[in-house]
Amino acid sequence: MKKIITYLFSLVLLAAVGMLEACRKNDPPLAKPIVVSSFYPNSGNAGTLVTILGTGLPADGKVMFGDIAADILSQNDTAMVVRAPENGQTGKLALVAANKTIEIGNYTYQALSVRSFFPQNGPAGMHIRISGAGFGNTASPAEVKINGVSATVVSVSDTLIVAEIPEKAGSGPVTVIVDGKSSSGAVFRFQSITTVKPLTGGPGTKVTISGSGFEALAAGNTVDFNGKPAQVLEASESRLVVVAPAAITTGPLSVTVNGQKTPGPVFTIVPFPTIDLVTPLSGPKGMEMTITGLNFSKETDENIVTINGVAVPVKTATANKLTLTLPGGTGTGKVILSVNDQKVEGPIFKEQNLGILQVVPANGLAGTKVTISGAGFSTVPSENIVTFNGVTATVESATETSLVVIAPANLTTGALVVRRAALEATAPAAFLRAGVQTLYGGPGTGSFINYASTSIAVDSKGNVYISNRADATIRKITPTGQASVYAGIPNTFGTRNGPVAEATFGSISSLAIDANDNIYVADNYAGPTIRKITPDGIVSNFKTGLPRSGVLFLNKAGEVYITQLYEGILKVYATGATERLFSYTASDVCRPSVDAAGNIYFSTDDYNPYLSMVGGNGTYTSQWLGGSEGYLDGPRLSAQFGAGLSGTVIDQEGNLLILDKWNYAIRRYNFLTGEVTTMMKLSYGFADGSFEEAKMGAGVSGMAQGKDGGIYLLDGNNGAVRKVFLR
């Protein structure tokens, strides 16, 4: 019985709910509230057409000019157009609907009336044509205001005014004032671009444009970058988000709305960022990270860094360096940098209690004392296992943040690793077997090298040859530093050919050695001549009758070139034929280089802080590498060198090395990147060791490269031959 009663109650309840829903379905829809936002014009004679804007405007409403209803010419939910009645009076304008009166504003019956204008939107400086009545025949000129800001009137007639949109006008009604009377028309939409962020990037960069007068619908805005259209992702009246187009080039950005263009600032195309170094590659929360490279933004918020997908805020930013504080919780994963949506991947970072921040020096030779800074080291030296490219080093001392180690005897270039128990940390960059060693001589050693030592060259076995113009000899220094007279008889001048022990030479200005160990000698005694010494020690004339004899240099094929001071550069073929490649001054101090395309890089003067270039096709560029005197790495034409360069070499990777003697440096130009970097920078004096420790004399006068990639310097001021290990 109880179950039956419950069942009947449920049926009654369901029926009641159904009836309620049916009633709801038959209810009339709720009416929108009536809202009037604006009207125009606010004055005019009888018959003037007045537009009323808003929402929910009723179909059965009346528009009253005082007590008189106006004829309604058109009507919809958002706009009504009515005609000012013949017998209307100045006073209130109201909308009456459903026994409700909504005040619209005041309407003035007068001859002055702003009825329309074109265009209805645009930027400052644009001309606007205002149509109406009562503008002319006045005691004083008509005035125009846009949103209350005075505009310059260009021309006036009784029915037309041309005015210029003022700066920072903003959106608002167009008002004309004549003889103290005023009339306002519709709202002019003022277009402006106030900020664009970022202003640098490339294809695919998302750019936010802030300003005014934009369309709220994305399709209503046309944005271009230097004439190339961009996709609009988001839009509002004051903000647009767009994507830089694929074919973008550096140039101004603009926004066009309803055919009216607003110019913006220049958007500059920059290359993708590159990451050179991230330090540390492991470490705990709170440790500072540094990222160095190229093409970063100087605006911190335009550099987005993530580690393993976790955002790491950037604290400081320059074009080539970012600093961050590790937030913790990153785990292990890649460091990724996005600069204005241009993304580059870096190395893997490992979150742990052991990390290496810095290694000083970052290069050296066996026995170099190296300080490793970081976190999580054991204070017991033996509990820290340090290896250089897999070779264990001796740890001299240890704290939690610093280790002092000695580079091992069989040091090679490679990763520097610290292990503590189960943890392992790798240094941000490989430790380079690099530094300076004296191969021969030095102050106080009785070295034969002096002011008269003119040139240096290296054969395939690592033997170094030094010429001397004062005693007419060529001396040989073995890889172990043993020196002897190789060719010529000391202080005996002549032109005799034959075996090196019997041959005589004169004032030798230069040496060069080809891949087969033939030695070419520029000899200025008894007529400038190029002599040749074969690998088996036989001397002969290679080319006689030269007008001048300067610095010898070879291309990779072993072909011979020579500078001739005021007569330029000459190529000398094995047949004896010659070809003049450059006819003006070429320095006899700086040894030129030739690349694989036949381009020659040289100095035209002993004191130039730059290099010139003669192309393989004969074109000449006076200032090809470098600019003003100084010391600065960077792009080819903005890099700075000291006043006077001592030589160049095309290295085994195809880069151009420059001996910048007055900066005590070897600089490298990378043909692929177009950048100058410093390979070695020393200070004045005499000392071997890492690049941070080594010193060299003033005005090093020669540079040559060995088969092993080592660089040999003729350090005449110290009476020495120095060998530079670059890696």
Tokens of 115: 């009825």
**pLDDT tens figures, 659-695:** 999 999 999 999 998 999 999 999 999 999 989 899 9
Sorted by where each starts, the structural domains of the chain and their CATH numbers stand as 35-109 (2.60.40.10), 113-190 (2.60.40.10), 192-269 (2.60.40.10), 274-351 (2.60.40.10), 355-433 (2.60.40.10), 436-725 (2.120.10.30)
Q: Which amino acid is at 349?
A: F
Going from the C-alpha of 531 to that of each of 291, 517, 681, the distances in angstroms are 53, 14, 36
Q: Residue 327 pLDDT > 70, yes or no?
A: yes
Average pLDDT over residues 364-368: 92
What is the average per-residue pLDDT within 3-15? 43
**Residue 257: per-residue pLDDT:** 96
Instruction: Measure the CA–CA gap between 191 and 170, rounded to whole angstroms.
Output: 8
Compute the average pLDDT of residues 688-705.
Answer: 92
Q: Is the pLDDT of residue 349 over 80?
A: yes
Give the pLDDT confidence score for residue 710 in this predicted structure. 92
**pLDDT surpassing 60 at residue 498:** yes
Mean model confidence pLDDT for the chain: 92
Tokens 């606007």 label which residue?
128
pLDDT over threshold 60, residue 334: yes
Is the pLDDT assigned to residue 53 strictly greater than 80? yes
What are the Cα distances from residue 429, in Å, to 356, 363, 415, 416? 10, 10, 7, 8
Q: Tokens standing for 389?
A: 């490219």
| Residue corresponding to tokens 């030589």 | 647
Over residues 698-715, mean pLDDT: 93
* Straight-line distance from the first to the last Cα atom of the chain, in angstroms, rounded to the nearest whole number: 100
Q: What letters, b where the CB count within 10 A reaches 16 and e where it falls short, cover 135-144? A: beeeeeebeb
Sequence-distant (≥ 6) Cβ neighbours of residue 156 within 8 angstroms: 135, 136, 141, 142, 162
Residue 694 half-sphere exposure, CB side, CA atoms within 13 Å?
Answer: 26
Mean pLDDT of 394-398: 97
Region 158-185 average pLDDT: 94
Distances (CA, A) of 363 to 63, 244, 293, 369, 715: 89, 43, 20, 10, 22
What does the pLDDT look like over 62-104, one tens digit per residue? Answer: 999 998 999 999 999 999 999 999 988 899 999 998 788 999 9
Q: For position 223, what pLDDT does the model report? A: 97
CA dist 215 and 255 (Å) reads: 10
Give the integer Cα–Cα distance in Å for 125 and 146.
Answer: 12
Reduced to 3 states (helix: H, G, I; strand: E, B; else coil), residue 305 is strand
pLDDT for 708? 87
Q: Does the pLDDT of residue 10 top 80, yes or no?
A: no
Is 70 exceeded by the pLDDT of residue 632?
Answer: yes
- The model's pLDDT over 244-296, given as tens digits with 9 standing for 90+, comes to 999 899 999 999 999 999 999 999 999 999 999 999 999 999 999 999 999 99
Burial zone of 98 (CB within 10 Å; 0-12 exposed, 13-18 middle, 19+ buried): exposed
pLDDT score for 28 = 52
Phi, psi angles (nearest 5°) of residue 383 = -85, -5
pLDDT of residue 138: 63
- How far apart CA 476 and CA 39 sit, in angstroms, is 100
- Model confidence at 389: pLDDT above 70: yes
How many Cβ atoms sit within 10 Å of the Cβ of residue 445? Answer: 13
What percentage of residues in the chain have a pLDDT greater than 70? 95
148: left (phi over 0), alpha (psi -120 to 50) or beta: left
Strand ranges in 134-287 using DSSP code E only, listed in sequence order: 143-146, 149-156, 160-164, 172-178, 181-190, 192-197, 200-201, 206-212, 221-225, 228-235, 239-243, 251-257, 260-269, 274-279, 282-283
Determine the average pLDDT of the residues in 220-247. Answer: 96
Q: For a pLDDT cut of 90, what percent of the chain falls above it?
A: 87
pLDDT band at 553 (very low <50, low <70, confident <90, very high): very high
| Distance between CA atoms of residues 607 and 640, nearest Å | 13
Q: Average pLDDT, stretch 147-153? A: 95
Q: What is the pLDDT of residue 3?
A: 44
Q: How far apart are CA 371 and CA 364, in angstroms?
A: 12
Higher-pLDDT residue of 140, 3:
140
- Please compute, for residue 222, the number of CA atoms within 13 A of its CA located in the half-sphere on the CB side: 11
pLDDT at 630 over 60: yes
Nearest to 659 by CA among 676, 647, 671: 647
